[in-house]
Amino acid sequence: MRAAWNFKARATTLSGENGDKEPNLTRIFRNPRNRFSQIILSRPHRADHATLGTMTVEESYPKLISLAVHELRGPTSVVGGYLRMLQRDTENPLTGRQRQFVDEAEKSYARIVELLAALSEVGKIDDGQIKMSPRSTDVFPLVAEVAEGVHEAADRDVRFEVRGPGEGALMAGDVDRLRTAFAAIFRAILREKPGPCTVVADRRLVKEGAGTSAVIVVADADAVQTAYDAEPVPFDEKRGGVGLSLPIARRVVEAHGGRLWSPAFAAGEPAPGPGVPGVIDERASRGTVLIALPLGS
């Protein structure tokens, strides 16, 4: 559990341009006590961003990711090639024990390849190279379809149900990317449940000013309304075993004009002030998520 922070003072972090955290270099550059920051910030600015030559940190960040992926793919391919040679060698076949080790190494190699592909996708989305392919779709049936195929915690007797209206949430969306994003988010939440329980994906239509949004609350069955009413905090993307699927899912949601957050479940201590949650129950918050997507074209 940790002390809560004032979400309203950090609204741009949730809705915003840089996700739940700015790139490390940006934070360094903007720290006035950092000597490197003082050198960089003494140079001419463009649009109030720290500049390095003529390129902002925000512009160089996806290019750095692209370069890292490019440089890592070479040696990774070499490792994969040697592993396949060992597996297919008929003149000097591996012993059973050796084959077991090589097979395990091959699984790790495949995992690294998946992570590099995901990292490349993150960089391309941030750089604007990947565009959503919107077409008219109803989000509510899509949620039910995805939930039906997610069985992440079935071995622990965790049930996953979908409630609320079955249709009526039309929007222009990239169906394939939304489907993948929903699946990643649902699996991450179900992985947080240690034992028997019922998790609900509650679908709602919410009026927001002149517009309407589809809101999906994924929470324990007895905590859906509490989660909806709670103060929002950033959704924790740093979870073991899910790779970069959650950072990609958040970017997909935000590319559709939506947002992704967790509720600030209080741990019992009194709040420090109006509109500010008290100490947050991190485990309960990690096991809950809210997704909002604006409807219409």
Q: Render pLDDT for 240-261 as a digit per residue (tens, 0 to 9).
A: 888 899 999 999 999 999 999 9
Average of per-residue pLDDT across 128-156: 89
Distance CA 105, CA 79 (A): 10
More confident residue, 7 or 129: 129
Residue 99: pLDDT band with limits 50, 70, 90: very high
d(CA 297, CA 295): 7
Number of C-beta neighbours around residue 176 at 10 A: 11
Are the beta carbons of 275 and 231 closer than 8 angstroms?
yes
Closest Cα partner for 129 from 121, 140, 138, 119?
121
Tens digits of residue pLDDT in 56-78: 666 677 788 888 889 999 999 99
Confidence (pLDDT) at 19: 46
Structure tokens that stand for 277 in this block? 């949650």
The arithmetic mean of pLDDT across residues 212-220, rounded, is 94
Mean pLDDT calculated for residue range 222-249: 90
- Phi then psi dihedrals of residue 29, to 5 deg: -65, -35
Question: Which of 3, 36, 42 lies closest to 233 in space, CA to CA?
Answer: 3
- Where does the pLDDT of residue 297 fall: very low under 50, low under 70, confident under 90, or very high at 90 and above? low
* The pLDDT of residue 26: 45
Tokens 């929903």 -> residue? 182
